[in-house]
Structure 1
Amino acid sequence: MERIIAVFRKYPIIPSMMTYSVLYPSANFVQQKYFRKYKPGEEKIDWQEIKRFCIYGGLIHAPLVYNWLRTAARLFPKTTMSHLLAKVALDQTLFAPVGLSSFYIGLSVLEGKDSQGVYDEWREKLPNTWAVSAFIWPFLQTVNFKFIPGRLRAIYVAVCSFFWTTMLAAWKHNSGSSQNIIPILSTK
């Protein structure tokens, strides 16, 4: 056990990657099992989709979040209100579009979509997803940057992301336009 803890201390990204490798596919499973509407005779759980969420969460999203949180802490290391607000503002203006783009593009690529299919889904779903993100994540990140120790921030975000990813999985699965995601925010 001491050897594992030593490895985690030496490479703190590993616990983050492990956490996302569990929480992302778990969120997708919950979305499929309890919130997805199926046609009669349709398979209830898409294990390939869960596998894609595991790969994306652990190998792509975890390092992205981990490095973003480290960068934010380096740019604004103080716990003053101005540094806190700067981190939260940067989180929504810089990281959110990158993270959400990574989500839609990464999973679309793992699905085997061609470049036009990847672009179309990204273009249709990113604006409304980002708009909803702007209502949820500033509060969560304020708590994160104010009260959570730096070494636990990526894991805190991962736990919060479980619920967020459950919604993202539904929006990702939705084959319609952004109107079907959040009608009130639709740009069409």
Structure 2
Amino acid sequence: MLKIWRWYERCLSLHPVKTQVISSGVLWAIGDVGAQYITYSTKKKRLQCKEAEQECKIDWKRAAAISMFGFGFVGPVGHYWYEGLDRFIKSRFQLRPKTATFVAAKVAMDGIIFSPFDLLLFFSYMGLSTGKTVPQVKEDVKRDFLPALILEGGIWPIVQIANFRYVPVRYQLLYVNIFCLLDCALLSWIEQQNDAPWKRRFGGGQGRW
């Protein structure tokens, strides 16, 4: 593990953006494969549908699309977001790093700006990548966005408090990417649930845009 860490540090020092892009793409692909297994298991154990009786077959085309989202958005945008956010909070609000106010400001901006944009782009991208029309994508976003935002709203602030308080800026995206392995599985699972009854509890059922 120590050798792997040193190798990662060397790659991050020499090629920071490329390293973040590759690690994000790989982790998001792994997360989607996990989500597909979760969806299969859910159908098999709870829904008892005929489709679930078949062997679980991974949709590698879908996993590749998810991976491209990690490569094309999470990696490069995340790299510049965390570094830019740190500089902005320091210069604009003149706050000392790692103080409670400093961490709170970063968590708030991350939750208000980055998270909703990330979710909106994710669900829009996934719909378009599968060949859906713009009206269909709008319906999917209406169905999935709010449930995902509420579920993630109870998880990511806690994750980011530890991130912004204890993790150096250059490693913050790596920290996030590790949790993105689970987050990708969650988002993919939510997207695959279509118009599941539990989504209506969040107001995410089908309706007009």
TM-score range, shorter chain: 0.7 to 0.9
Q: Provide the C-alpha distance between the structure 1 equivalents of 2:80 and 2:112, rounded to a whole number of angstroms.
A: 16
TM-score relative to the length of structure 2: 0.79
Counterpart residue identity of residue 186, structure 1: G
Aligned with 1:91 (options 110, 114, 130): 110
Letter in 2 for 1:129: A
Summarize the alignment of residues 89-168 of structure 1 with structure 2, pairs less than 5 Å apart.
Answer: 89-168=108-187
- Paired residue for 1:18? 22
Corresponding residue for 2:198?
A: 180
- Opposite residue 31 of structure 1, the aligned amino acid is A
CA drift at 1:10: 4.5
Greater displacement, 33-42 / 45-54? 33-42
Distance in 2 between residues matched to 1:136 and 1:6, nearest whole Å: 31
Residue 31 of structure 2 is matched in structure 1 by: 27
The one-character-per-residue Cα deviations of 1:102-129 (angstroms, maximum 9, x if unpaired) are 1111222221221111211111111111
Q: Alpha carbons of 1:187 and 1:43: their partners in 2 closer, same or farther (altered >3 Å)?
A: closer
Moved over 3 A (4+): 4-8, 40-43
Aligned length: 186
What is the aligned-residue RMSD (CA, Å)?
Answer: 2.5
Counterparts of 1:187 and 1:112, CA distance in 2? 22
Q: Would the aligned equivalents of 2:103 and 2:164 in 1 still touch at CA under 8 Å?
A: yes
Partner residue of 1:169? 188
TM-score, structure 1 normalization: 0.87
Structure 1: gaps of 5 or more residues: none
Aligned partner of 2:98 among 79, 83, 90: 79
- What are the ranges of 5 or more consecutive residues in structure 2 without an aligned counterpart? 1-7, 45-50, 91-96
- Cα gap change, 1:146/1:118 in structure 2, threshold over 3 Å: closer, same or farther? same
Tell me, in whole angstroms, the C-alpha distance in 2 between the residues paired with 1:34 and 1:174: 11
Q: Does the 8 Å CA contact 2:143/2:204 hold for their aligned counterparts?
A: no
**Whole-Å separation in 2 of the counterparts to 1:117 and 1:187:** 15
